[in-house]
Amino acid sequence: MIIEPRMRGFICTTSHPKGCEQNVKNQIEYIKSKGPIAGAKKVLVIGASTGFGLASRITSAFGSDASTIGVFFEKAPSEGKTASPGWYNSAAFENEAHKAGLYAKSVNGDAFSNEIKKQTLNLIKADLGQVDLVIYSLASPVRMHPVTGVLHRSVLKPIGSTFTNKTVDFHSGKVSEISIEPCSGDDIENTVAVMGGEDWGMWIDALKAENLLAPGATTVAYSYIGPSLTEAVYRKGTIGRAKDHLEATAFSITDSLADIEGKAFVSVNKALVTQASSAIPVIPLYISLLYKIMKEEGIHEGCIEQIQRLYQERLYTGNEVPVDEKGRIRIDDLEMRPDVQEKVAKLWVEAVTENLSEIGDLEGYRKDFYNLFGFDVEGVDYKADTNEVVNIESIV
Ligand code: NAI
Ligand code: NA
């Protein structure tokens, strides 16, 4: 079978196993090239199959020789249908980890559910005893609440008033104005229920209740702030309320871990093309301008560079973890540099369909987007027949 990208709206419905494998190998090579990190040895990554979570799993395994358990929600390949990219990524990761003699097992299912938590806890109990790092990197549009049974849907909307600004359809390159109506009803509560910190807290409580957190264990979740340009739809919108909640949860988790001297952090990461971020209006235009500037300045980073720096220069320096005035780790420092933001703001005003491919990095955006699904990856022969079934050896 020759696999080609097939688009439906913001999403690509096919993915390429060889391309995903190559992406994972490239990330592993990057981590190896940066040398060892004195990090955690037994690591649970929740949301481990794509984006920042996958980068975290790779950094732990290949930077610190860590045993890793990854939790994710991905589709296996089936008759005539490719798997989801996170499936191929995880298959490739496990393959490489096992070749390197590293323990790696995965749990595929709804991380918000009691059942998947239980399975994961049992696996830790049986194989690792305890974990010393828990990365929480879920990005989901829905959450079935495990206690109430309510299905919450998150929305990406401004709060209070309609937000009108530019956006780009990155496939066509067309810049247009978009108006997003303010949220209503239970939109904020629902978004907080999905993307806030409640589930993170539930995971940590469950792990602690079964004595599966090692003394001094650390847990890290990922957040975003971004510039004033995107504030109305991001940080001051419904998703921002969820991030506020997530950030507040770090403090309550740290309190709950006092007796084992554990600590919870939120790391504020850079805006990057992932499946989650490409669905947010306005963000793709911002990212394409940001990429252009950061590449020109030689300070562009992808997920793996971000997480490598998080581990090497923030979490595992041997000194106290540096945080901002709100207790957050900042690896969005380069994105938020005043000179970078000034340049982006200037380009933002100028951006129209006719000049975007020049003043913005539309090509880079598209390439990153296709790369997410294993397409357009250097060194992959897309003309070759791909009919092998890729399985995850140690899925639970
Ligand atoms: P992503 O879409 O690449 O990864 C999401 C992960 O969650 C995948 O492993 C997926 O399988 C898993 N997942 C989703 N629903 C699940 C469920 N019900 N059960 C189990 N696993 C599930 O997303 P990305 O961008 O890596 O986001 C991770 C975190 O980083 C999010 O909190 C996001 O807000 C944050 N972040 C993202 C930024 C960006 O620009 N992409 C910037 C800063 C923070
Ligand atoms: Na992730």
Ligand of minimum distance to the alpha carbon of 74: 1
pLDDT of residue 392: 82
CB 176 within 8 A of CB 356: no
Find out whether 138 is annotated in a ligand binding site. Answer: yes
CB 43 within 8 A of CB 60: yes
Tracing tokens 């909307």 back to the chain, one arrives at: 157
pLDDT of residue 129: 98
pLDDT in tens, 96-137: 999 999 999 999 999 999 999 999 999 999 999 999 999 999
Residues 6+ apart with CB under 8 A from 203: 46, 111, 117, 134, 136
**Continuous segment of H or E residues that includes residue 248:** helix 238-256
In the reported structure, the alpha carbon of residue 88 is separated from the centroid of ligand 2 by a whole-number distance in angstroms of 14
CA separation (Å) from 83 to 26, 71, 77, 195, 215? 20, 16, 4, 25, 38
The Cβ of residue 61 has, within 10 Å, a number of other Cβ atoms equal to: 25
Q: Which atom of ligand 1 is nearest the CA belonging to 277?
A: 41
Residues 6+ apart with CB under 8 A from 58: 24, 27, 28, 31, 93, 304, 307
Which of 136, 234, 365, 370 is flagged as catalytic?
234
In the reported structure, the alpha carbon of residue 72 is separated from the centroid of ligand 2 by a whole-number distance in angstroms of 9
What's the complex ipTM?
0.98
Phi, psi of 263, rounded to the nearest 5 degrees: -145, 140
pLDDT of residue 60: 99
- The overall pTM is greater than 0.95: yes
Which 8-state DSSP code applies to residue 83?
P
The Cβ of residue 153 has, within 10 Å, a number of other Cβ atoms equal to: 14
Domain limits, the chain: 7-372
Is residue 234 flagged as an active site residue? yes
Find out whether 238 is annotated in a ligand binding site. Answer: no
In the reported structure, the alpha carbon of residue 55 is separated from the centroid of ligand 2 by a whole-number distance in angstroms of 8
Tokens of 367: 């390439």
In the reported structure, the alpha carbon of residue 196 is separated from the centroid of ligand 1 by a whole-number distance in angstroms of 12
> Who surrounds ion ligand 2 at CB < 5 A?
47, 51-53, 137
Q: CA nearest 152: which of 137, 140, 162, 160?
A: 140
Which residue numbers in the chain have pLDDT < 50? none
Q: Which of 59, 110, 138, 156 to mutate to test the pocket of ligand 1 (most atoms within 8 A of CB)?
A: 138
Tracing tokens 């401004």 back to the chain, one arrives at: 158
Q: Which of 116, 225, 274, 285 to mutate to test the pocket of ligand 1 (most atoms within 8 A of CB)?
A: 274
pLDDT in tens, 229-278: 999 999 999 999 999 999 999 999 999 999 999 999 999 999 999 877 88
CATH fit for domain 7-372, picks 3.40.605.10, 3.40.50.300, 3.20.20.140, 3.40.50.720: 3.40.50.720
Tokens of 271: 């805006």
